[in-house]
Structure 1
Amino acid sequence: MRIGKMQLLQPIQMGAWNLRNRIVMAPMTRCFADNETGVVGPDVVEYYRKRAADGVGLIISEGITISPRAKGTIGLPGLYTEEQIKSWKKVTDAVHQVGGTIIAQIWHVGRLTRHEIAGGLPPQAPSAIQADGHVHRLGKPYDTPEEMSIADIKEVIQQYAAAARNAITAGFDGVEIHGAHGYLIDQFNSDVSNHRQDKYGGDLRQRLTFMKEVSQAVIAEIGADRTIMRFSALKDDVRDYMWEDPDAAIQTFVEAFKESGLTMIHPSTMDFSQVISDGLTLHEIARKYWDGIIIGVGNLNPELAEQAVEAETIDAAAFGRPFLANPDLVSRVSQGEEFIAFDASKHFHVLV
């Protein structure tokens, strides 16, 4: 590979951010915050600083909850109290001191939780339909959620907006809205979990109303040039789920993104190369309808990422687990070195 000329290693203007290269650190839940307060400590500061110091273009943080009821497991950080904001400011300061750019992934898990995790209250969801599966780390089944009223919906939309505002106060350069993987926004998007009869239910276009309103509220707070939307067909609680007509579904999503004022999207899949419709992958279909920024993700390696950037299927490439084992991932890519193999028994339980 032409290491010196790799497009992956070239700077890019992405929204408000002048990035050093097109390599993105994907969001990865680590559960290292204080469980009672949602505050992050010095180990988290060093975890992000180390990767920024190696030269990664953009860091997307682990999922950060927007309220106590948004929490899905033990040890998740928050971005809704002054103490939490101050703790994240130490992270962003450290990243910026070494020339990095970092955004906060703001997150509400919806029905994928239990009352003892979510502040003693039942989970929130578009409909009162219990999810299959168990709470990560707790090992207990998900609770049956409480169907959100219109007042609840408006309150949660404002919580997303507040979290975005708090992210900027904490020194983050922007946010990614987590609208993927079967969490709250995706629960509204899906007919599996959304059986509502009001304006937030119905066909796919109508079910995307909540996602659009969240996007518009966040953009109103911090601007479209600092906001990314992540979406997917993947659902943590529905095995092997796929849209009935992926091409039509993605076209409908893209129309909603445009109507919301979004300019940057992050289609999420476990396999970047998986063909899902008419010989095309998720990202290829997204590119067919979307001419804004696309971040690619899904078990990428440098060769595949470079090919996709050169083909203009994606503008930047996100790496997840390889960043856990390789804090120096960017250096390894630039020098053509192999990655250290990811070891789940080690890298999911320690900060390195």
Structure 2
Amino acid sequence: MKKNHLLDPINIGEWNLRNRIVMAPMTRSFADDETGVVGPDVVEYYRKRAEDGIGLIITEGINLSPRAKGTFGIPGLFTEDQMTGWKKVTDAVHQEGGTIVAQLWHVGRLTHHELTGGQPPQAPSALKAKGLVHRLHKPYEMPEEMTEGDIQKVTEEYAQAARNAIDSGFDGVEIHGAHGYLIDQFNSEATNCRKDRYGRNLIQRLTFMKEVLASVIKEIGAEKTIIRFSEIKDDLPDYKWKDPEESVQAFIHVFQDVGISILHPSTNHFTETLVNGMTLHELVRKY
């Protein structure tokens, strides 16, 4: 039986990838800070990655609204000018034979009103993060606890950003549900103390993620959607799941419910075991 090799082509969803090499998302902060528009330097950056032969490129995190922004120079995907800038990127990547997806990002409480047009950070609960805002070097501010109306609005913003991504020439999107950002803030008992249907227990805390995924899938299809999830939190370095196996099972159950199968488990330590000698990726494969 032939073994699969890194340079062998593979089909994932609707993507016919020329090999199994994936470029992980990396924050670049190269966009115009006022407009969130990417320029020729970003076009050339991603063109070169495609020219290098990468099978799948996942972009840096892209804001789905002004309130999603967590530091300087982060691009957006919610205005016509931003879409025009990204269209030049996707055209360049496709001309090199590459495949590229947009990572959609909302940092939630991990920001400051000086970055979000004067608006306070948003979060599932009014719990202030410890530490300093990336590059701004000011303390995180007390976030505004999101109402159900706020949650619905942000869910719609994810769906619209996904549509904008496809209209800008992207081959799909990755939803950033990891590392202690907004979706992950809902997922975790450390940042979510709500008593409504978005809180109380693990299954209900995953409701926001589930609704975001369902809205994006309805807009562009499950075969074009990736979900990134994690145990690790950027602002809570010592955080651990109380029951890793229960947590992974709950996440997988949500993914199965909405029909998504392209998963991006994220960890800083790929060989670290979580339970019964299994790593995060081994646990995910188990279920």
Q: TM-score, normalised by structure 2?
A: 0.98
Aligned match of 1:231: 229
Structure 2 residue 184 is matched with structure 1 residue 191? no
Partner of 1:128: 126
One-letter identity of the residue aligned with 1:71:
K
The list of structure 1 runs, each at least 4 consecutive aligned residues, that deviate by more than 6 angstroms after superposition, is none
Structure 2 gaps, min length 5: none
Rounded to whole Å, the distance in 2 between the matches of 1:131 and 1:240 is: 14
Give the structure 1 partner of residue 140 of structure 2. 142
Question: Aligned-residue CA RMSD in angstroms?
Answer: 1.0
For residues 152 and 265 of structure 2, what CA distance do their matches in structure 1 show?
26
Aligned to 1:332: none
1:59 aligns with 2:57: yes
Counterpart CA distance in 2 for 1:282 and 1:51 is 28
Amino acid at match of 1:245: D
2:88 paired with 1:85: no
After TM superposition, the structure 1 stretch with the greater mean CA deviation from structure 2, 268-277 or 226-235, is 268-277
Distance 1:211 1:131 in 2: 20
Which residue does the alignment assign to 1:265? 263
Q: From 22, 25, 34, give the equivalent of 2:23.
A: 25
Percent of residue pairs bearing the same amino acid type: 67
Q: 1:54 Cα shift? A: 1.4
CA-to-aligned-CA distance 1:39-93 (integer Å, 9 cap, x gap): 0011111111001011111000000000000000011000000000000000000
1:335-346 alignment, distance < 5 Å: none
CA distance in 1, matches of 2:200, 2:257: 18
After TM superposition, give the deviation of residue 6 of structure 1 in Å: 5.8
Q: Which of 68, 71, 95 is the matching residue for 1:70? A: 68
Once the two structures are superposed, the pairs formed by residues 264-283 of structure 1 within 5 Å of their partners are 264-283=262-281
Q: How far apart are residue 240 of structure 1 and its match?
A: 2.1
Partner of 1:47: 45
Q: How does 1:91-170 map to 2 (within 5 A)?
A: 91-170=89-168
Q: Secondary structure at the match of 1:9?
A: coil
Question: How do residues 247-266 of structure 1 correspond to structure 2 at under 5 angstroms?
Answer: 247-266=245-264
- Give the letter aligned to residue 153 of structure 1: I
Compute the displacement of 1:18 (Å).
0.4
Higher relative contact order (CA 8 A, sep 6+): 1
Distance 1:263 1:287 in 2: 11
**Mind listing any 5+ residue stretches in structure 1 that lack a counterpart?**
290-352
Query: C-alpha distance in 2, partners of 1:105/1:284?
Result: 24
1:213-270 deviation line (CA, Å, top 9, x unaligned): 0000000000000000000001011012110110111011100111122111100001
* Residue identity in the other structure for 2:198: Y
Report the secondary structure of 1:161's partner residue.
helix
- Offset at 1:273? 1.2
Match for 1:83: what amino acid? D
Look up the SS of the partner of 2:238 in the other structure.
Answer: coil
